[in-house]
Chain A
Amino acid sequence: MDFREYVIGELDTEEQKKFRKELGDWLDKNISPELVESTWILRTTANIPYANEFAKKLSEKGWLCPEWPKEYGGAGLPAGYSTIVAEEISKRVLWAPGLLGGLTGGVQGPIIMQHGTPEQKKEWLPKIAAGAQFALGYTEPNAGTDLASLQIRAAKDGNDYILNGQKMFSTGAHNARYHWLAARTNPEMPKHKGVSMIIADLTAPGVTVTKLTTIAGDRTNEVFYDNVRVPQTNRIGPEGEGWNITRSALAAERGDLGTFPWPKILVDELIQYAKETKRNGKPLSEDPQIRQTLAQLSMDVSVLRLFGRRLNYMIEKNQDISWSAPFSKIFESELSQRIANQGMNIMGLYGQLEQGSKYAKLKGHIELAYLTMVVRSFGGGSNLRLRSDIATRGMGLPREPQLAMPVKK
């Protein structure tokens, strides 16, 4: 057993030390203050434009996908170096998941590496390593948690597919060049078996991207496909294999599991706030109820940290994480909501004030958190569903019986 927290870089080899120094110096010169500031805004999308711009610069050094071969636009560095890049970036910005996820090629890179034809690898990997932006196209109005019932149709026409249908909540689609689509190529098959992964060009004729605004003021999108033509060579992996490919990608994805910094930051801010703020002549931090609440939230932050560390430990040991990865996701999302809710109550009437309002406290973080954290319990997987995954895969409970029905045409 060992709970030692290593200082970043403590275990570097000589080679790695040199690289880290070179990288760090370059980052100090090339990470803009705007990027840094944007990562401190409590919106998952606030940093995207600055991060995208920075990613292009990083890619010129081959460091956007540092472990990829040079022929694909990477730097050909050995395993462990993308972690070094992530660590050094994380020292300088608060949290930029899109950028950090991009260091291993995002969602699409590893999939194309594993399932793409040599031609597809030549075409797409360099684009990804150069910072080309993809938006995910999974969810539809009638396909959320039950993603396999997606309906967007990719019908064969000569050497192309014609796409008709619509994607929902496609965050970043207004910023991205490409759409990573899960589309139905084989409607005659049972729903899980008729899906393929297709890359679509969001600037193609027939594509309409419509803005949706979330309750937290962030932008997401509906994307409509009206007879959009896509070459069949844009399909990654065999026809009908899209579901398996997506599942294995999600399993490999580290995402922001265990690294989302906001719970700790917000609890620390609330503790400081309670110490400094008086109500009825006494600091809030002397109120027994508030002491209990903040102590519990502090404990929860520790548990979140430990869940994240344990997940990394299991990944290092090549253990099955399909049941333990959701621990982090569920716990963090619900903790974030608790922090926002209880934080509001600690702040009283001030809690309602938005950032920028007169009298707003803590830069409006708690008010913003109250709205933005709502999505975390279903974005990236519904917590309701994930709990079933935990119980069935981690404890062997039987799955709920399903009626397998083909999708209506």
Chain B
Amino acid sequence: MDFDYNDEQKMLKQGAREFFEKECPKSLVKQMMEDEKGNPPELWKKMSQLGWLGLIYPEKYGGGDGNMIDLIALEEEMGRACLPGPFLSTVLLSGLFILHNGSEEQKKEILPKIAGGQLILTLALTEQSDSYEASAVSVEAKAEKDDYIIDGTKLFVPDAQIADYIICIARTKKGDKPEDGLTAFLVDRKTPGITITLLKTLAGDKLCEVVFNKVKVSKKNIIGKLDQAWGPLQQTLQQVKIAQCAEMVGGAQRALELAADHAKKRIQFDRPIGSFPVIHHLIANAMMDVDACKFLTYEAAWKFSEGMPCAKEIAMAKAWTGEAYQRTAAMGHQVLGGIGYTLDGEMHLYFRRAKSGELTLGDGKFHREALAKELGM
């Protein structure tokens, strides 16, 4: 077994760390939390020039032919940097869905533009029902000659307010099971009838309400097969979850380091507080927590990149990582005390993102249930 990245991945990771330290300081992160768009254009452009936006796409679509492990090396550093912007929504949720399900024309049209930093996309799945189950999708798309009319409201859609295209998961047919009859539509943001409202969120990530009021979409804009979006969507989500876990691992690692660094420097009762066994215990528990989610994520990524079944591994990684990140950041606040509690601190950035990461794409409970099913219960 080998728990390390290879030399090239290490160089990518270290380079990304240095790049984000320079181009994405915490002052920018905080600024973006208040900013309506939340995606600094210069930063996005530079990332595309380095080939990071197209990293996971094949070369023929303008990508770098990277694998999952290359991607998670980069994701760890993005999490450490608290990178703002639509990487998850555009490159992963939307881009990977199109890569695995789109027509050749759709892939050639869109993927190089994502890689080149010219297009922003998002995927609208969840609704007011606040669930990742198929039964939660109520937005409908009714056929009308060569078009479909989409009607309904999507909620918690990331980066919709800057998206050029929205992939909308809508119900085209009432099937026997809620999983049947769902279709993915590539909707141009400028289509009449779309209203987007930015929500105010804990982590300053740009989640939106997207109202589709009789929005007309050509049937040519269906991605994949009519009525059969659910299975392919789940597969894409599985891949995205691995990347998202890696991002959280990077954040959790940094939160742990911040807490440990503070404990070494902060003097109370004539000694560094890090010399009290209580602090030793908090840090040791966090070290084990972070390594656990790191290795669960690595194993899931490796199995995925080898084309091996990894539903169990992904469920474990997602369940553990979100909760571990949250525990670590909460511990960080305990150790930092007052100095971490004002807005000019850093720990709260991780604390916020840990919770939003935990909830996004299914929390611990959701994934423990998924694991229970995998175990045959």
Contacts and interface: CB of A to CB of B under 8 A. Distances in A.
- Is B a genuine binding partner of A? yes
Interface of A: 1-5, 271, 274-275, 285-286, 288, 291-292, 294-296, 298-299, 302-303, 306-307, 309-310, 312-313, 327, 330-331, 384, 386-388, 390-392, 394-401
Given A2-B302, A271-B375, A384 B296 contact: no
Interface in B241-256: 256
A401 B4 CA distance: 35
A72 B2 CA distance: 36
Q: Chain B interface residue count: which class? A: 35 or more
Contacts of A302: 296, 316
Query: In the complex, which of the residues A275, A310, A398 has the most CB atoms of chain B within 10 Å of its own CB atom?
Result: A398
A391 B281 contact: yes
Interface stretch (B166-174, B180-188, B283-291): B283-291
A396 B264 contact: yes
B1 A3 contact: yes
Contacts of B292: 303, 306-307
Contact of A395 (B9, B260, B376): B260
12 contacts: A2-B302, A3-B1, A3-B303, A292-B372, A295-B377, A299-B296, A388-B280, A391-B280, A391-B283, A395-B256, A400-B276, A400-B277
Contact of A296 (B263, B296, B368, B377): B368
A272 to B, nearest CB: 9
A1 B3 contact: yes
Contacts of A1: 2-6, 9, 69, 298, 301-302
A2 B288 CA distance: 21
Contacts of A292: 365, 368-369, 372
A308 to B, nearest CB: 10
Contacts of B85: none
B371 interface: yes
Interface string B251-284: 0000010001001100000011011110111011
Given A1-B3, A307-B288, A307-B292, 7 more contacts: A1-B5, A4-B1, A295-B372, A310-B295, A387-B284, A390-B287, A398-B272
A295 B375 contact: yes
A274 B377 contact: yes
A401 B274 CA distance: 11
B264 to A, nearest CB: 6
Nearest to A394: B287
B295 A303 contact: yes
B279 A397 contact: yes
B252 to A, nearest CB: 14
Given A391-B279, A391-B280, A397 B260 contact: yes
Interface string B353-377: 0000000000001001101100111
B319 interface: yes
Nearest to B302: A3
A295 B373 CA distance: 9
Nearest to B271: A401
A313 B280 contact: no
A396 B288 contact: no
A396 B64 CA distance: 39
B36 interface: no
B320 interface: yes
Contact of B2 (A294, A313, A398, A400): A313
Question: Which applies to chain A's interface (DSSP): helix, strand, loop or mixed?
Answer: helix
B187 to A, nearest CB: 37
Contacts of B295: 303, 306-307, 310
B291 A310 contact: yes
B299 interface: yes
Query: In the complex, which of the residues A1, A292, A299, A313 has the most CB atoms of chain B within 10 Å of its own CB atom?
Result: A1
Contacts of A313: 1-3
Contacts of A391: 260, 274, 279-281, 283-284, 287
Contact of A388 (B2, B5, B277, B316): B277
B211 to A, nearest CB: 34
A298 B296 CA distance: 12
A299 B316 contact: yes
A384 B277 contact: yes
Contact of A397 (B2, B274, B315): B274
A355 to B, nearest CB: 26
B372 A291 contact: yes
A275 B299 CA distance: 28
A406 B296 CA distance: 47
Given A387-B285, A396-B260, A3 B298 contact: yes
Interface string B1-34: 1111110010000000000000000000000000
B283 A395 contact: yes
B263 to A, nearest CB: 6
A35 B5 CA distance: 43
Contacts of B319: 295-296, 299
B355 to A, nearest CB: 19
Nearest to B301: A1
* Closest 8 pairs between A and B when the two form their complex, measured CB to CB: A295-B368, A387-B284, A391-B280, A390-B284, A285-B377, A291-B372, A2-B2, A306-B295
A294 B376 CA distance: 11
Contacts of B377: 271, 274-275, 285-286, 291, 294-295
A295 B369 contact: yes
A309 B3 CA distance: 9
Contacts of B256: 395
